[in-house]
């Protein structure tokens, strides 16, 4: 096994690791939003308007947070 030396890790490698990390962080909130949406479907008809608005606001917040994790990144 060889050891790393200064210069072995390129800027492109660092960018690729950063992109992979951000995409991984983005995946979990989007999965959470999908699960909430699936659980809430079919319940809207009998739910109070405030409950529905709360679910919609929560989903929007989660999706916006996920989008900000990769905003301005390649």
Q: Per residue in 29-42, pLDDT tens?
A: 888 888 888 887 77
Confidence check: pLDDT of 46 > 60: yes
Nearest to 41 by CA among 50, 31, 52, 32: 52
Q: Specify the pTM.
A: 0.54
70 or 30, which is more confident?
Answer: 30
pLDDT digits (tens, 9 = 90+) for 1-25: 567 676 777 788 788 888 877 777 7
d(CA 34, CA 37): 5
**Is residue 73's pLDDT more than 70?**
no
């Amino acid at each position: 096994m060889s050891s790393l030396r200064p210069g072995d890790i390129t800027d492109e490698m660092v960018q690729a690791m950063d992109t992979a990390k951000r995409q991984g962080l983005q995946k979990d909130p989007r999965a959470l939003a999908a699960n909430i949406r699936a659980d809430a479907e079919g319940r809207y008809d009998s739910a109070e308007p405030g409950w529905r608005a709360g679910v919609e606001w929560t989903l929007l917040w989660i999706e916006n947070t996920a989008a900000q994790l990769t905003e301005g990144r390649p």
